[in-house]
Amino acid sequence: MSKSSSEEIAVWLINLIKDKGELKREEAAEFVESAFSSDFISRTANGNRSLSKQLLHDFRNLRDETIRWNAGKQAWYFTANGSEEAEREQREIPQIPTAVEPKELPKGASNVHPALYLNRELGWVDFNWRVLYQAMDSRNPLLERVRFLGITASNLDEFIQKRVGGLKRQEAAGVDDLSPDGRTPQTQIQLLQAKTKQMQQRMTEVWNQHLLPKLEEEASIKISGYDALNSRQKNRLNEYFLDHIYPTLTPLAVDPGHPFPFISNLSLSLAVKLKKPNRDAFNFARVKIPSNQPRLLQVESESYAYHYVPIEEVIRKNIDKLFPGMKVESICLFRVTRNADLRRNEEEAEDLLSMISEELRERRFAEVVRLEIEEEVDPEVENLLKDELKLDDSDIHHVEGELDLTVCFSLANLNIPGLRYEKWNPPIPKPLYHEGETEQEQTIFDIIRKGDILVHHPYESFSASVQRLIEEAANDPDVLAIKQTLYRTSDDSPIVKSLIKAAEQGKQVAVLVEVKARFDEASNIEWGKMLENAGVHVAYGLVGLKTHAKVALIVRREGDKHVTYCHIGTGNYHTQTAEIYTDLGLLTNDPELGYDVTNLFHYLTGYAPDQTFEKLMVAPHSLRSDFYGLIDREIELAKAGEKGRIIAKMNALDDVGIIQRLYEASQAGVNIDLIVRGHSRLRPQLEGYSENIRIISIIGRFLEHDRIFYFGNDGEPKIFIGSADWRSRNLNERVEAVVPITLPSLQKRIISILKKALNDNRLVWDMHADGSYTQRRPAEGQKEKNFHEMMMKNAWKRAKR
Taking residue 107's Cβ as centre, other Cβ atoms within 10 Å add up to 5
Half-sphere exposure of 429 (CA within 13 A, CB side): 26
Q: Among 45, 46, 10, which residue's Cα sits nearest to residue 31?
A: 10
Helical (H) or strand (E) element with 671? strand 671-676
CB of 328 closer than 8 Å to CB of 272: yes
Q: What stretch of H or E contains 300?
A: none
Task: Spell out the alpha helix ranges (H) of 652-786.
Answer: 656-668, 728-732, 744-759
Out of 307, 548, 567, 574, which one is annotated catalytic?
548
Please state, in angstroms and rounded to a whole number, the distance separating the CA atoms of residues 532 and 537: 6
b/e sequence 343-374, b meaning 16+ C-beta within 10 Å: eeeeeeeeebbebbeebeeebeebebbbbbbb
Sort strands 67-70 and 75-78 into parallel, antiparallel or unpaired: antiparallel
The C-alpha atoms of residue 466 and residue 688 are separated, in whole angstroms, by 46
Asked whether 307 and 300 are in contact (CB, 8 A), the reply is yes
Angle at 690 between CA 687 and CA 691, to 5 degrees: 60
Q: Reply yes or no on whether 548 is catalytic.
A: yes
d(C-alpha 461, C-alpha 712), whole Å? 30
Rounded to a whole number, what is the distance in angstroms from the first to the last CA of the chain? 47
Q: Apex CA 704: angle with CA 701 and CA 706, to 5°?
A: 145
Per-residue b or e along 612-636, where b marks 16 or more CB atoms closer than 10 Å to that residue's CB: ebeebbbbebebbebbeebbebbbe
Other CB atoms within 10 Å distance of the CB of residue 21: 11
645-650 and 479-486 as β-strands: parallel, antiparallel, unpaired?
Answer: unpaired
Show which residues are catalytic: 548
